[in-house]
Amino acid sequence: MQKIKKTYKFAIKTSLYLTILLTLLTSVFLYVTSGSSWYILLFVIPFGLMAFIIIQYRVERFIYRRVKKIYDDLTLLESTSLTKHPITTDMATLTKEIDKFAKDKKLEIETLKVREEYRKEFLGNVSHELKTPLFTVQGYLLTLIDGAIDDKKIRKRYLERANKGVERLIYIVKDLDMITKLEVGDLSLNKEHFDIVELVQNVFDLLEMKAAKKKITLTFDMVYSKPIMVNADRERIQQVLTNLIVNSIKYGSEKGTTEISIENLIKNKVIVRVTDNGEGIAKEHLKRIFERFYRVDKSGSRKEGGSGLGLSIVKHIIEAHDERIYIESEVGVGSEFSFSLEKAE
């Protein structure tokens, strides 16, 4: 049995109180004037019903007009969560809807605040990344314009340095362009079957000299005597491996090790792990490590170079393959980046 609506309860109780009060007053009046009041009972039930109907109607109209004014006046209530339902005069239901609406709006506002902070930080980072090479190039060119161009040795050296600054700008712009294409789905993947072990070895060969400068050893965790075939975009996965290994060299300990392991994850997946014994990453940075231009080192130092987009590109490429990337790290121990790939059938 459904519960009686609260407006009905209110009308019933109010009409009952009025009926009892009016009956008592009328009975006393009739008893005093005529000495009899028993026939007033004939009017009790009709009066009670009429009182209930009038009160119920007036209460509903009273609430409806005011609730409708709330719906009409508050522009915030243009939310589909409220307008797509008929206006209700039940205060419990209305209160529940308003409370839900307020919570949703609060969450929306908080999300917008986070996005606004991210936008400001991102624009600041872009400005900083572009400003450094731009000012460097400008400084060398202004020095040449001021007369240094007449000295052949200085002219050649400064032009070479200005060219490096321009190359860095091009590098940053290309990386930003790639991320944008990956995000909007404009960068198509050319999937093929290839041996991931061979690809890792190729990347090792390319980065051997870079690793040697810090006396870092690039190695597999074991001897892979058989090929491990995967289905992915070879060029993009090579870029992923290159970015991760370069990152491990940059922040790895001198005379350290960067180790690659390839394991079966599930029946049709493998997981590739890139592990180093470098400085590691604090927990508070792990959630943001894949953001564009996000750097753990807040000092603003760019001594290690790079565009600040490497890990963001890695994440986007892996997600474009419908795969996932993971990170585990401990300060002073090292970091491990791992990502899944589809096995070739």
Span 126-170, pLDDT tens digits: 676 677 778 888 888 888 888 888 888 888 888 888 888 887 788
Phi, psi dihedral angles at 261 (to 5 degrees): -130, 145
Average pLDDT on 265-290 reads 85
H helix count then E strand count, the chain:
9, 7
Q: What Cα–Cα distance (Å) separates residue 43 from each residue in 13, 18, 27, 51?
A: 18, 13, 11, 12
Strand order of the β-sheet with 217-220 is: 217-220, 257-266, 269-276, 334-342, 325-330
Core vs surface per residue 10-23: b (16+ CB within 10 A) or e: ebbebbeebbeebb
> What mean pLDDT is reported for the chain?
77
pTM for the whole structure:
0.58
pLDDT confidence of residue 247: 87
Average pLDDT on 285-304 reads 65
pLDDT confidence of residue 178: 76
Torsional class of 147: left (φ above 0), alpha (ψ -120 to 50), beta (otherwise) = left
Report the distance separating Cα 67 and Cα 54, nearest Å: 20
* pLDDT class of 90 with cuts at 50, 70, 90: low
Report the distance separating Cα 240 and Cα 304, nearest Å: 18
Given a contact cutoff of 8 angstroms between Cβ atoms, the answer to whether 178 and 187 are in contact is yes
> Which among 75, 125, 124 has a CA at the least distance from the CA of 101?
75
Q: What Cα–Cα distance (Å) separates residue 163 from each residue in 138, 159, 212?
A: 11, 6, 26
Quick one: DSSP state of residue 291? Answer: S
Quick one: DSSP state of residue 304? Answer: T
pLDDT confidence of residue 229: 92
Core vs surface per residue 94-116: b (16+ CB within 10 A) or e: beebeeebeeeeeeeeeeeeeee
Average pLDDT on 219-227 reads 90
Lowest mean pLDDT, pick from 103-117, 156-170, 248-262: 103-117
13 vs 94, residue with greater confidence: 13
H or E element: which one contains 159? helix 152-184
Report the distance separating Cα 137 and Cα 91, nearest Å: 68
SS3 assignment, position 195: strand
The residue behind tokens 């009060």 is 21
Strands 334-342 and 269-276: antiparallel
Counting Cα atoms < 13 Å in the Cβ hemisphere of 70 gives 14
* pLDDT class of 301 with cuts at 50, 70, 90: very low
pLDDT confidence of residue 1: 41
Report the distance separating Cα 106 and Cα 79, nearest Å: 13
pLDDT confidence of residue 200: 92
Given a contact cutoff of 8 angstroms between Cβ atoms, the answer to whether 108 and 83 are in contact is no
Q: What Cα–Cα distance (Å) separates residue 206 from each residue in 44, 259, 296, 333, 338?
A: 101, 16, 26, 26, 21
> Which among 320, 326, 344, 345 has a CA at the least distance from the CA of 237?
320
Alpha helices of 214-268 — where are they, by DSSP H? Answer: 234-251
The yes-or-no verdict on residue 217 having pLDDT over 70 is: yes
Given a contact cutoff of 8 angstroms between Cβ atoms, the answer to whether 11 and 59 are in contact is yes
pLDDT confidence of residue 32: 64
